[in-house]
Chain A
Amino acid sequence: MNLLRQVWLIARLQLGRVFFSRRSFWIYLLALFPTVIFLVHGIDTKLRRQRWSSRMTSPAALESIREGDTDEEVLNRAGRPINDETYDREWRRGAKKRGRPIMYRYMMYFDGSRRWDLNFEAGLLQNKRSLALVNFEEERQVFAAIFQYFYLRLAIFFGCLGIFMNLFRGEMLDKTLHFWFLVPARREVLLAGKYLAGLIAAVLIFALGASLCFGVILWLQDPVPREAFWRDQGASHLFWYAASAALGCIGYGSVFLAAGLLLRNPIIPAIVILLWESINGLLPAMLQKLSILYYVQSLCPVPAPTPSDAPLLVRLLMAPAEPPSATLAVLGLLGVTALVLWAASRAVRRLEINYGTD
């Protein structure tokens, strides 16, 4: 029988189990978590825009307001604000003695795309600050950070752990693995079929999850910048995010498939590999190449920002390794995967069914 047909048949039989197993429910949560966060943020933003649009102020009127203007002048020029709060404070900031209570006032306006925060002290405007309701650049940065620090390092990592470790280890625990060992197929074919099933599930779940989240961010934006971005680099960004997620699944999938064959307890390999991946940026160049993250991270279209106020250790762990070129990254990752799968195929040939010793 054609080997590829056997591989596909095994994969097809495994797919239902991978997609609908109770054990994989949390994987969907991990994959959809960023989408849910951005969706909630998006709905909130849309609702606020809708609510504030009825009391919009012209941008020109708000631009004309200067520090030192009185609150009455501002009200005359910009009209009634969306939010207006007044409060007294006895202590002036920085003062050593308790003095006469000072009247503070906060007003908020909306000009259709930006919100304006005006802070008054004793009736005079002290500072004025405008903030775009939707900041595309900022949101792309946030997505880049979430994708690299959460999605690649945690969601895909643990998702693949859950999917691929179970392909063999889960069946050993259920005492059903011998069902597969007693079919007329080579063990390597069984391994390939199971890997393919896990891969289809993981790629669909995580590449779709990343694409969905990216789509939600685009949906949030105003039509004009959104279309301009899409024409310019949006499609390419979407492709590379989805490709990075898929390649992450290919790499981590092979690693956890092999770990499931070689080790009984998934916690130990999870900790070791997570640690190895985390310190990747600190390793010598040669060792960096033995990491999935090294290849996948370099394919991301937007570099993830590293917070400057984060502790040194965190900054070190977040620091990406020296990125290879896209071609090298893809080839390197596929090379590492092939190597790991070859080791897994050796292990599966030697694997024994040992749940009974009568």
Chain B
Amino acid sequence: MTPPEIVFHEVSKFYGEVLGVNGVSFRIPPGITSLVGPNGSGKTTLMNLMAGLIHPDRGDITVRGLSPRDPEHLMRITGYATQYDSAPRGTTGYDFVSTGLLLAGYSTTETAERAWKALERLSMTEAAHRKVAAYSKGMRQRVRLAQAIARDPEVLVLDEPLNGLDPLVRAETIAMFREFASQGRHVVLSSHVLQEVDVISDQVILIANGAIIAEGEIRGVRDEIREHPSQFVIRCRDASRIASLLFEQDHITQIKIHEDRLGLLVMTRNRREFSRALTRISLAGQTIESVVAADENVDALYEYLIGGGR
């Protein structure tokens, strides 16, 4: 049986004459998926489409088989932490978390249990009876996350979820996302903290100007980008000698030798041939201490794909 997916098929959304997303198609399997792109690229639009806050002008969306036009059922399996303060005026943290539970049909006792559990998970129990309006930025972020996870959803949609969190809570929150993902659920998040996306995500969807530039596992996405040479950092005993040997290969486009003469940055158009060449050089007696890919992270992908749009 195929795992339940989030499916976008030829989805377009325009805000008047302003482009939201255009002809977007992709499938998100369970796990942690990050939407990455510059401001205005369409990340929040995709999330809002998933949650039914906006509707596509063209195309179809299903979230684990449910239509976003059916909030009654969709919101039973989906928790969405938006980037806006969504608590109505005068709402306390507890009310904010418990309202959705009550409307989902949980009894008062069960609602209280689930709400406190979610608040506890985000270390928000002490402030639970204070008004959300009086919370700090970090606390608001945490209470939004608590509200999103309170119904124990199968799909967590999180718009910039790590913003404003201190390092300890951030680490705990990431661990929580992993736990959700390990249970076969969807965690879809957007973030500007690229290093974190790199570490957290099972897959990324790179967006620019309302279109999907690339999607999949970060390494897989990197492999798809043929026009940009792959970069490797080599640490060795004799950088000049290895550089001259590598330059004999057609696929090498550029080499930079470090100032300490013990390392070099190599750019190649053929990763496989590069690997073979290194093996030959090593077998010929040159000492190579380490080889590290320098651009298998979202920072580099961003740079290649979006080209200064950040």
* Residue B34, interface by CB 8 Å: no
* Residue B44, interface by CB 8 Å: yes
CB <8 Å contact, B15 and A357: yes
Interface residues of B in 71-88 (CB under 8 A from A): 71-76, 80, 82-88
Interface residues of B in 252-274 (CB under 8 A from A): none
Q: 1/0 contact trace for A164-193 toward B, CB 8 Å?
A: 000000010011101111111111010000
* Residue A275, interface by CB 8 Å: no
Kindly list chain B residues whose C-beta atoms are within 8 Å of the C-beta of A80: none
Kindly list chain A residues whose C-beta atoms are within 8 Å of the C-beta of B85: 175-176
Kindly list chain A residues whose C-beta atoms are within 8 Å of the C-beta of B105: 1
Kindly list chain A residues whose C-beta atoms are within 8 Å of the C-beta of B84: 175, 178, 355-356
* Residue A6, interface by CB 8 Å: yes
Tell me how far the C-beta of A25 lies from the nearest C-beta in chain B, rounded to whole angstroms: 14
Interface residues of A in 313-358 (CB under 8 A from B): 349-350, 352-358
Report the nearest A residue to B47, measured CB to CB: A358
Among A1, A185, A357, contact of B45 (Cβ-Cβ < 8 Å): A357
Report the nearest A residue to B41, measured CB to CB: A358
Tell me how far the C-beta of B204 lies from the nearest C-beta in chain A, rounded to whole angstroms: 17
Given contacts A16-B90, A176-B87, A357-B15, is CB(A181)–CB(B100) below 8 Å? no
Given contacts A353-B53, A356-B44, is CB(A183)–CB(B100) below 8 Å? yes
* Residue A17, interface by CB 8 Å: yes
Point out which of B54, B83, B89 has the most chain A C-beta atoms below 10 A from its C-beta.
B89
* Residue A247, interface by CB 8 Å: no
Among A16, A186, A356, contact of B72 (Cβ-Cβ < 8 Å): A186
Tell me how far the C-beta of A186 lies from the nearest C-beta in chain B, rounded to whole angstroms: 5
Tell me the complex Cα distance, A155–B73, Å.
41
Q: 1/0 contact trace for B209-246 toward A, CB 8 Å?
A: 00000000000000000000000000000000000000
Among B18, B43, B72, B89, contact of A176 (Cβ-Cβ < 8 Å): B89
Q: 1/0 contact trace for B1-36 toward A, CB 8 Å?
A: 000000000000001001010000000000000000
* Residue A10, interface by CB 8 Å: yes
Kindly list chain B residues whose C-beta atoms are within 8 Å of the C-beta of A184: 71-76, 100, 103-104, 151
CB <8 Å contact, A357 and B104: no
Point out which of B71, B104, B151 has the most chain A C-beta atoms below 10 A from its C-beta.
B71
* Residue B278, interface by CB 8 Å: no
CB <8 Å contact, B40 and A176: no
CB <8 Å contact, A185 and B72: yes
Kindly list chain B residues whose C-beta atoms are within 8 Å of the C-beta of A189: 72
Kindly list chain A residues whose C-beta atoms are within 8 Å of the C-beta of B39: 358
Tell me the complex Cα distance, A189–B105, Å.
14
* Residue A132, interface by CB 8 Å: no
Kindly list chain A residues whose C-beta atoms are within 8 Å of the C-beta of B89: 17, 21, 174, 176
Kindly list chain B residues whose C-beta atoms are within 8 Å of the C-beta of A180: 88
Tell me how far the C-beta of A325 lies from the nearest C-beta in chain B, rounded to whole angstroms: 41
Given contacts A1-B103, A17-B90, A358-B41, is CB(A183)–CB(B53) below 8 Å? no
Tell me the complex Cα distance, A223–B261, Å.
111
CB <8 Å contact, A6 and B40: no
| Interface size of B in residues (CB-CB distance below 8 Å) | 42
* Residue B125, interface by CB 8 Å: no
Kindly list chain B residues whose C-beta atoms are within 8 Å of the C-beta of A354: 15, 54
Tell me how far the C-beta of A237 lies from the nearest C-beta in chain B, rounded to whole angstroms: 39
Tell me how far the C-beta of A315 lies from the nearest C-beta in chain B, rounded to whole angstroms: 45
Tell me the complex Cα distance, A352–B20, Å.
13
Tell me how far the C-beta of A109 lies from the nearest C-beta in chain B, rounded to whole angstroms: 59
Tell me the complex Cα distance, A350–B84, Å.
21
* Residue B174, interface by CB 8 Å: no
| Interface size of A in residues (CB-CB distance below 8 Å) | 33
Tell me the complex Cα distance, A243–B84, Å.
42
CB <8 Å contact, B88 and A174: yes
* Residue A283, interface by CB 8 Å: no
* Residue A268, interface by CB 8 Å: no
CB <8 Å contact, A175 and B88: no
* Residue A263, interface by CB 8 Å: no
Kindly list chain B residues whose C-beta atoms are within 8 Å of the C-beta of A20: 90
Q: 1/0 contact trace for A5-17 toward B, CB 8 Å?
A: 0100110010011
CB <8 Å contact, A17 and B72: no
* Residue B55, interface by CB 8 Å: yes
A-B pair count, CB < 8 Å, reads: 99
Kindly list chain A residues whose C-beta atoms are within 8 Å of the C-beta of B86: 175-176, 178-179, 182
CB <8 Å contact, A357 and B103: no
Tell me the complex Cα distance, A6–B100, Å.
11
Tell me the complex Cα distance, A278–B253, Å.
81
Report the nearest A residue to B40, measured CB to CB: A358
Tell me how far the C-beta of B57 lies from the nearest C-beta in chain A, rounded to whole angstroms: 11
CB <8 Å contact, A182 and B80: yes
Report the nearest B residue to A352, measured CB to CB: B54
Among A174, A185, A358, contact of B71 (Cβ-Cβ < 8 Å): A185
Tell me the complex Cα distance, A1–B83, Å.
29
CB <8 Å contact, A353 and B71: no
Tell me how far the C-beta of B146 lies from the nearest C-beta in chain A, rounded to whole angstroms: 14
Tell me the complex Cα distance, A189–B73, Å.
13
Interface residues of A in 1-50 (CB under 8 A from B): 1, 6, 9-10, 13, 16-17, 20-21
Kindly list chain B residues whose C-beta atoms are within 8 Å of the C-beta of A185: 71-72, 75, 103
Tell me the complex Cα distance, A182–B52, Å.
8
- A sample of 7 more A-B contacts (CB under 8 A), given A178-B84, A352-B53, is A1-B103, A182-B80, A184-B75, A186-B71, A355-B84, A358-B44, A358-B45
Ordered by A's residue number, 30 sampled pairs between the chains whose C-beta atoms are within 8 Å are: A1-B103, A1-B105, A6-B103, A9-B102, A17-B89, A174-B89, A175-B85, A176-B87, A178-B53, A178-B84, A179-B99, A181-B53, A181-B71, A182-B51, A182-B80, A182-B86, A184-B71, A184-B73, A184-B74, A184-B76, A184-B100, A184-B104, A184-B151, A352-B55, A353-B48, A353-B54, A357-B18, A357-B45, A358-B40, A358-B45
Q: Which 7 A-B pairs have the closest CB atoms?
A: A1-B105, A184-B75, A358-B44, A179-B86, A353-B53, A352-B54, A183-B103
